[in-house]
């Protein structure tokens, strides 16, 4: 597989400005190609100049030959006019000399046209070759410039990983990267985007603009607000269970920043799918179901005992439930059946 060797690169975490050279690939082969094309262009230019000189010299030379042939033809015509006063043999000799001079003159006139056409054709071929060499020269120069990677914006350098020595390690100077392989990115810390994945089963619940809370594994006390920025359209495989479990890529944008936040930190995200205004939260284990009516109720601490109280439940998950009525904030609820449990008393 075709690859390029990294000759130099910026360090991971380095702060760079827009336009800074952050990586350079081995350019020796491209420099040699550039030299070859420059030589070809110079040779083509020299050939065109030579052909132009040849064309001019040839034109002047043939014009001189034509002038001489025309003079000889005119002289032969004048000699032939004396045929009436010379012998028949001399007259025949003047006639043949005139015809020969005329034929030579006509031949030279035709040769000029053919020779100039040939030289102009050679010049046109040389011009085409030079144009092609110039095109290749510009392409080689552009490719040479592409081997210098410049920062598209100001930010922090983040290096990707590659497979080396039987393990995934950070890309470094001397590594070869293939076509289309991402080996580095520049992150603008003033606008941070989180890249995450969700199980395809939960993807239908996620919408662009949803609020979220981001927790950082490196800083357990740090929580930052975020919103869903983009939701992928195609599922992708994940890990060893890729053949069975598909995930959807999701991007979130942080709405607040913290100087401790840098690229490549691992995070967890709590998405707000629905919200309940002015509700009291109780543990999900504190809800009980009446075996006859199916109504939900809780047991609230009442002095030395427990009072059974029906509740209206709003949003709930596996951990907590929002109580719209029936319990006030600050009251103590039981998470296990506090009374003598009936034999068939179910628990939710």
Does 166 share its domain with 308? no
Q: Check whether 326 has a pLDDT greater than 50.
A: yes
Does 236 share its domain with 336? no
Q: What is the pLDDT of residues 24-69, one digit of tens each?
A: 988 888 788 888 888 888 888 888 888 777 777 766 776 777 777 6
Q: Give yes or no for a contact between 300 and 332, defined as CB atoms under 8 angstroms apart.
A: yes
Q: What is the mean pLDDT of residues 325-334?
A: 91
At 303, which CATH number?
2.40.420.20
Q: Check whether 239 has a pLDDT greater than 80.
A: no
Does 176 share its domain with 282? no
Tokens of 50: 């030579």
What domain range is 207 assigned to? 189-271
pLDDT range class, residue 10, cuts 50, 70, 90: very high
Model confidence pTM above 0.95: no
At 173, which CATH number?
2.40.50.100
What backbone phi and psi angles, to 5 degrees, belong to 284?
A: -60, -30
Separation of alpha carbons 325 and 313, rounded Å: 8
Q: Give yes or no for a contact between 298 and 309, defined as CB atoms under 8 angstroms apart.
A: yes
Q: What is the mean pLDDT of residues 225-234?
A: 92
Q: Which of 252, 271, 290 is the last residue of a domain?
A: 271
Q: What is the mean pLDDT of residues 308-329?
A: 90
Does 139 share its domain with 54? yes
Q: Give yes or no for a contact between 157 and 22, defined as CB atoms under 8 angstroms apart.
A: yes
Does 62 share its domain with 44? yes
**95 C-beta neighbours (distance < 10 Å), count:** 14
Does 310 share its domain with 216? no
Of 99-103, 138-142, 309-313, give the range with the top mean pLDDT: 309-313
Does 260 share its domain with 289? no
Q: What is the mean pLDDT of residues 68-93?
A: 68
Q: How many domains does the chain have?
A: 4
Separation of alpha carbons 117 and 129, rounded Å: 18
Separation of alpha carbons 94 and 107, rounded Å: 20
Beta bridge partners of 157: 186
pLDDT range class, residue 240, cuts 50, 70, 90: low
At 203, which CATH number?
2.40.30.170
| 223 compared with 37, residue with greater pLDDT | 223
Of 121-125, 283-287, 291-295, give the lowest mean pLDDT range.
121-125
What does the pLDDT read at residue 343? 45
Does 22 share its domain with 154? yes
Q: Check whether 341 has a pLDDT greater than 80.
A: no
What does the pLDDT read at residue 151? 93
Residue 120: C-alpha distances to residues 33, 49, 106, 316 (Å): 30, 12, 22, 89
What does the pLDDT read at residue 348? 46
Q: Check whether 102 has a pLDDT greater than 60.
A: yes
Does 159 share its domain with 175? yes
What does the pLDDT read at residue 243? 64
Q: Which of 74, 67, 64, 68 shows the shortest CA–CA distance to 98?
A: 74
Does 337 share its domain with 206? no
């Amino acid at each position: 597989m075709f690859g390029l060797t990294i000759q130099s690169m910026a360090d991971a975490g380095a702060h760079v400005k827009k336009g800074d050279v952050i990586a350079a690939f081995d350019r020796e082969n491209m420099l040699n190609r550039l030299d070859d094309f420059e030589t070809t262009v110079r040779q083509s230019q020299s050939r065109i100049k030579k052909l132009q000189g040849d064309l001019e010299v040839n034109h002047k030379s043939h014009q001189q030959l034509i002038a001489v042939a025309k003079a000889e033809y005119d002289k032969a015509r004048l000699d032939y006019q004396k045929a009436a006063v010379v012998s028949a043999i001399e007259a025949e000799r003047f006639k043949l000399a005139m015809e020969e001079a005329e034929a030579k003159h006509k031949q030279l006139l035709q040769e000029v046209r053919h020779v100039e056409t040939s030289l102009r054709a050679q010049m046109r071929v040389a011009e085409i070759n030079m144009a092609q060499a110039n095109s290749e020269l510009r392409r080689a120069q552009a490719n040479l410039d592409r081997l210098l990677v410049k920062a598209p914006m100001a930010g922090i350098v983040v290096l990707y990983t590659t497979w080396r020595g039987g393990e995934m390690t950070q890309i470094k100077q001397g590594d070869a990267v293939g076509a289309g392989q991402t080996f580095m990115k520049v992150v603008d810390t003033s606008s941070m985007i989180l890249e995450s994945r969700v199980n395809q089963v939960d993807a239908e619940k996620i919408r662009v603009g949803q609020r979220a809370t981001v927790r950082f594994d490196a800083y357990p006390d740090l929580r930052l607000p975020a919103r869903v920025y983009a939701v992928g359209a195609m599922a992708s495989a994940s890990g060893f269970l890729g053949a069975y479990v598909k995930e959807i890529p999701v991007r979130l944008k942080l709405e607040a920043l913290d100087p401790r936040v840098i690229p490549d930190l691992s995070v967890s995200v709590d998405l707000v799918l629905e919200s309940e205004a002015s509700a009291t939260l109780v543990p999900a284990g504190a809800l009980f179901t009446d075996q006859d009516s199916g109504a939900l109720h809780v047991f609230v601490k009442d002095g030395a005992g427990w009072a059974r109280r029906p509740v209206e439940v709003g949003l709930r998950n596996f951990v907590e439930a929002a109580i719209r009525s029936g319990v006030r904030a600050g009251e103590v609820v039981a998470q296990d059946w506090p009374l003598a449990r009936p034999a068939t008393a179910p628990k939710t």
